[in-house]
Amino acid sequence: MTSLFRYLPSPHCDERPVGEVVELLVVHAISLPPGQFGGGWIDDLFMGVLDAQADPYFVGIASLRVAAHFLIGRDGGITQYVPLSKRGWHAGESVWQGRPRCNDFSIGVELEGDEEHPFAAIQYQRLAQLTRTLQQRLPRLVEVVGHQDIAPGRKWDPGRQFDWPRFRAMLPHVEPLDLPIIA
């Protein structure tokens, strides 16, 4: 199923600390500019080439050095930006179950979306499939949380539009994807 997958290597990652293994998947949501979908701006942000002059909102974020491991677009397409073995810069200041620096032991998955629009059905399907795929490849990956869970009060995503019960109900019933994921 490689037609739904692409790889764009982001410079916004580094080595995980020695001995760290992936145990957490963090679900995020993003739209650029806010409330708009498509257009390639997310790619540009994660690749470090976002044009600050293209939209007034971009002035405040163009210099950010951020990237999730994956993005699931509203059409179900999956883009990988960071290899699984690398620490993606997606979580920022964060804590999970008393453990700080979630980037060290997590994979970040962005959903193209916001707090105002429901996520697309295909995004839930692809997130469940990608999660199963990652669980096969990363046997200690057991927890799936939202960005708001690891950075409460600082982050809102994936937000009130994300239907956690729907996602969790799908998870055991989907087949993993056969993707050329970069380890």
Query: Could you give the C-alpha distances from 28 to 52, 115, 147, 149, 179, in angstroms and in order?
Result: 22, 11, 6, 10, 21
- Structure tokens that stand for 179 in this block: 């993707």
Q: Is the pLDDT of residue 3 over 90?
A: no
pLDDT value for 167: 98
Q: Is the pLDDT of residue 1 over 50?
A: no
> Catalytic pick from 15, 110, 112, 143?
110
Burial class (CB in 10 A: 0-12, 13-18, 19+), 139: exposed
- What confidence tens digit (pLDDT) does each residue in 127-176 have? 999 999 999 999 999 999 999 999 999 999 999 999 999 999 999 999 99
- Count of positions (residues) in the chain: 183
Q: Are 38 and 1 in contact (CB under 8 A)?
A: no
- What confidence tens digit (pLDDT) does each residue in 70-118 have? 999 999 999 999 999 999 999 999 999 999 999 999 999 999 999 999 9
Please tell me the pTM assigned to this model.
0.96
Could you give the domains of the chain?
2-173 (3.40.80.10)
Phi-psi region of 101 (alpha: psi -120 to 50; beta: other; left: phi over 0): left
- Structure tokens that stand for 24 in this block: 């957490």
Confidence of residue 17 (pLDDT cuts 50, 70, 90): very high
Q: Which residue has the tokens 């257009």?
A: 39
**Which residues have CB under 8 Å from 155's CB, separation 6+?**
92, 147, 148
Annotated active-site residue 15? The verdict is no
